Chain A
């Protein structure tokens, strides 16, 4: 993709073409992230499709998807760069064996060792040092799991789009990557980082959008079943569960039903496939208490509504 989108509607259209149906808010946020070249922070419940945004952006723009999964204790050597120590050691031994090192000063030897060819580029450096025509899509997933220090470092990288490797020098992005950060909000991301980013809180999709998503992602499911599945999931979200099903679960469920060759929901099949939507035993118990039959009934009522 050579040109930037002109309106949020362009973004909405393009994402839909590539398998993601955004609401107005998300389309506007993505549009602004692209035109203002700002990172976009997506927060929301697990399974509402935050990570998917980055993947679909990569498919649309053609930019390489570079993913950094955060976890507690992530550090520079895993996120930015590391030296390939075993190859450095081998190089030392080899230059010694060939007698090459005899004529070298320690400084020269060191320069050989701390050369870009022994540098292992991790996700952040890959994204900054990208040379292609299309800027890559950098996905920094679950930033809430990383530590404060890492956030501070990230802030620096995302403000300047530069990374300094002390032994070599500075890498600057020719075309800054399109950056998507996601957070499940197990803790608050630092304000300074949030200020640097655009922010969007991702909600569960409404009924019609969810039907469209199911139809798009699981094309073998017919409209009637898609509406019933979306209706049942909507009802489940109202049951005060520990983990209300997200879009990911809706899609899983529709796929399971498709694999079973179903064209309609009924009690038996809901009971048999409940594990595709609800991953906690307590949630399954609660749903059974509520009654599978009434869930199916709700799903049918929603499904039959004329669109």
Chain B
């Protein structure tokens, strides 16, 4: 058990925070104990700030911290034995169950015969099948095909140099090393050139009701890109913006998507594309994440908000991004023209507009990204930044 008063305070408070859903590693608690040793435990503000400095690591957590601290301080003042009675508030994340797919012949087959599922022809059928019509099993199956795809854009020049036999700059480091081998005689000159790095890929997924199956499929692709060595950022957009990057690295993508959908209230309210894009630009994109990156938006373009807002935000985004790609699964629908107001507003600021309803369409998307033209020398570089939409 805890010994000094500072230790007791720190351990108890850490438990309250953990109960409230904050991640508090043991190392931070130890630092907190040290901090309390420095500032004392008598003053409320001293304890508060010592905890803020040692236990909180993200501004999003400050609110939760504040509320927990209020509760904790009040209880501590009343001499309640917190470490016995604190009741953790458990926050559970619902996990989406795939089994609620509409039944058809394929999925009502009993699953215990794996040979039924993997047929060669199945891959060909899947290639052109609309994602919305996929069953959970088919989605699993498609994953194998998806993992062969890579969304890799044209690389950019990095600051780092690589040695290159026919490079254009002398590589002094390698020359010295080579000359040592020859007893100090710099006989062979070595050369180097700037290395290349992959561009960041930023994916914004619309997760409103009609888009969800596509978002789910797209996320699988993104997951595949993460397991390549590309740096990928993913966000869910609905009524609000949710970052999913961390989940992509550590967890099953479906769980991540389900958790994101959980956090989106007001499904029927529809997507607020413009506001979400603004939130993305303000908090992440324009500040650095989208700079020089390839930004892919997956959405049908139905926006409940003001299309002006969306247009302005797309323009802002295009000005910093290397390439903006809009994937609209509805593009394939016969007679579809970008009638959705949001889509129409966004189109002038989109470098590539592609369909995204099937595996074949995804291959096309991968091709578009891979062959992105160098914008610095293209026509668009001149026209971008004009205010009036075409």
Contacts and interface: CB of A to CB of B under 8 A. Distances in A.
Contacts of A92: 176, 179, 184, 186
Contacts of A89: 172, 175-176, 179, 186
Interface in B32-62: 34-35, 38-39, 45-46, 49-50, 52-54, 56-59, 62
Nearest 8 CB-CB pairings of A with B: A186-B288, A85-B172, A73-B159, A28-B49, A29-B53, A194-B57, A92-B184, A198-B53
Contacts of B159: 71-75
B197 A73 contact: yes
A8 B57 CA distance: 20
Interface string A180-193: 00001111100100
B127 interface: no
Interface in A47-100: 71-75, 83, 85-86, 88-89, 92-93, 95-96
Interface residues of B, number: 45
Contacts of A73: 158-160, 197
B53 A96 contact: no
Q: How large is the interface on A (under 10, 10 to 19, 20 to 34, 35 or more residues)?
A: 35 or more
B173 interface: yes
Interface string A233-272: 0000000001000000000000000000000000000000
A227 interface: no
A208 interface: no
B284 interface: yes
A28 B56 CA distance: 14
Contacts of B49: 8, 24-25, 28-29
Contacts of A24: 45, 49
A71 B160 CA distance: 11
B28 interface: yes
Nearest to A110: B180
- B53, B58, B62, B282, most chain A CB atoms within 10 A: B53
Interface string A184-218: 11111001001100111100000000000000000
Contact of B25 (A46, A195, A199): A195
A290 B71 CA distance: 41
A145 interface: yes
A35 B173 CA distance: 42
Given A185-B287, A186-B287, A195-B27, A88 B57 contact: no
A187 B289 contact: yes
Nearest to B35: A32
A25 B48 CA distance: 9
A200 B52 contact: yes
